[in-house]
Amino acid sequence: MYIKDGICYASELQPSIKVSSIKVLETGMMLVTFSTGETRLFDVNALIKTGPAFAKLSKLENQKTAKVTYGFVSWLDGEIDIAPETMYRESYEYPENIIA
Protein backbone atom coordinates (compact mmCIF):
# COMPACT_ATOMS: atom_id res chain seq x y z
CA MET A 1 0.00 0.00 0.00
CA TYR A 2 1.15 3.53 -0.73
CA ILE A 3 -0.16 7.09 -0.76
CA LYS A 4 0.37 9.43 -3.69
CA ASP A 5 -1.15 12.89 -4.06
CA GLY A 6 -3.35 12.21 -1.03
CA ILE A 7 -4.81 9.01 -2.51
CA CYS A 8 -4.25 5.63 -0.87
CA TYR A 9 -3.57 2.76 -3.31
CA ALA A 10 -3.87 -0.93 -2.35
CA SER A 11 -1.12 -2.09 -4.69
CA GLU A 12 2.59 -1.38 -4.59
CA LEU A 13 4.04 1.72 -6.21
CA GLN A 14 5.21 0.88 -9.70
CA PRO A 15 7.83 2.82 -11.61
CA SER A 16 6.28 5.13 -14.18
CA ILE A 17 5.82 3.40 -17.51
CA LYS A 18 4.11 4.61 -20.66
CA VAL A 19 3.09 3.10 -23.96
CA SER A 20 5.15 4.51 -26.81
CA SER A 21 3.57 2.70 -29.76
CA ILE A 22 1.27 -0.18 -30.68
CA LYS A 23 0.59 -2.51 -33.56
CA VAL A 24 -2.78 -4.30 -33.66
CA LEU A 25 -2.47 -7.82 -35.03
CA GLU A 26 -5.28 -9.74 -36.76
CA THR A 27 -5.25 -12.41 -34.06
CA GLY A 28 -6.62 -10.30 -31.22
CA MET A 29 -3.11 -9.63 -30.05
CA MET A 30 -1.22 -6.36 -29.94
CA LEU A 31 2.47 -5.53 -30.00
CA VAL A 32 3.08 -2.82 -27.43
CA THR A 33 6.30 -0.83 -27.16
CA PHE A 34 6.78 0.74 -23.74
CA SER A 35 8.81 3.74 -22.59
CA THR A 36 11.43 1.26 -21.38
CA GLY A 37 12.12 0.43 -25.04
CA GLU A 38 10.76 -3.06 -24.53
CA THR A 39 8.19 -4.49 -26.99
CA ARG A 40 5.75 -6.98 -25.48
CA LEU A 41 2.78 -9.01 -26.70
CA PHE A 42 -0.60 -8.11 -25.19
CA ASP A 43 -3.65 -10.39 -25.54
CA VAL A 44 -6.73 -8.22 -26.09
CA ASN A 45 -8.92 -11.35 -26.04
CA ALA A 46 -7.87 -12.03 -22.44
CA LEU A 47 -8.78 -8.45 -21.56
CA ILE A 48 -12.29 -8.98 -22.92
CA LYS A 49 -12.79 -11.85 -20.48
CA THR A 50 -12.10 -9.61 -17.47
CA GLY A 51 -15.50 -7.93 -17.57
CA PRO A 52 -18.21 -6.06 -19.45
CA ALA A 53 -16.20 -2.82 -19.63
CA PHE A 54 -14.13 -4.41 -22.42
CA ALA A 55 -16.93 -6.35 -24.19
CA LYS A 56 -16.93 -4.09 -27.26
CA LEU A 57 -13.37 -5.19 -27.97
CA SER A 58 -14.66 -8.63 -28.94
CA LYS A 59 -15.09 -7.17 -32.46
CA LEU A 60 -11.81 -6.92 -34.36
CA GLU A 61 -13.00 -3.69 -35.99
CA ASN A 62 -13.20 -2.11 -32.52
CA GLN A 63 -9.76 -3.44 -31.60
CA LYS A 64 -8.39 -1.68 -34.68
CA THR A 65 -9.49 1.71 -33.25
CA ALA A 66 -6.67 1.44 -30.68
CA LYS A 67 -4.44 4.47 -30.34
CA VAL A 68 -1.84 5.78 -27.94
CA THR A 69 -2.81 8.94 -26.10
CA TYR A 70 -0.62 10.49 -23.40
CA GLY A 71 1.18 7.19 -22.83
CA PHE A 72 -1.79 4.86 -22.54
CA VAL A 73 -3.91 2.88 -25.00
CA SER A 74 -7.53 3.72 -25.70
CA TRP A 75 -10.14 2.36 -28.07
CA LEU A 76 -13.31 3.79 -29.62
CA ASP A 77 -12.22 7.44 -29.24
CA GLY A 78 -11.46 7.06 -25.53
CA GLU A 79 -14.58 5.10 -24.58
CA ILE A 80 -12.33 2.25 -23.39
CA ASP A 81 -8.81 2.56 -22.00
CA ILE A 82 -6.31 0.66 -19.93
CA ALA A 83 -3.45 1.73 -17.70
CA PRO A 84 0.03 1.17 -19.17
CA GLU A 85 1.14 -0.55 -15.96
CA THR A 86 -1.65 -3.09 -16.39
CA MET A 87 -0.77 -3.67 -20.03
CA TYR A 88 2.85 -4.25 -19.07
CA ARG A 89 2.01 -6.60 -16.20
CA GLU A 90 -0.47 -8.61 -18.31
CA SER A 91 1.71 -8.79 -21.44
CA TYR A 92 4.28 -11.34 -22.52
CA GLU A 93 7.92 -11.04 -23.47
CA TYR A 94 8.31 -10.74 -27.22
CA PRO A 95 11.65 -11.76 -28.70
CA GLU A 96 13.01 -9.05 -30.99
CA ASN A 97 13.98 -11.51 -33.69
CA ILE A 98 10.33 -12.43 -34.44
CA ILE A 99 8.76 -10.45 -37.26
CA ALA A 100 5.09 -9.53 -36.88
Give the pLDDT confidence of 6-65 residue by residue, as tens digits. 766 666 656 689 999 999 998 899 999 999 999 999 999 999 999 999 999 999 999 999
Instruction: Examine residue 2 and state whether it is found in any structural domain, yes or no.
Output: no
Residues in the chain, how many? 100
For the domain that residue 37 is a member of, what is the CATH number? 3.30.2020.10
CB within 8 Å of 14: residues ≥ 6 apart: 85
Instruction: Examine residue 1 and state whether it is found in any structural domain, yes or no.
Output: no
Parent domain of 61: 14-93
Q: Indicate the number of domains in the chain.
A: 1
pTM value is 0.80
Instruction: Examine residue 41 and state whether it is found in any structural domain, yes or no.
Output: yes
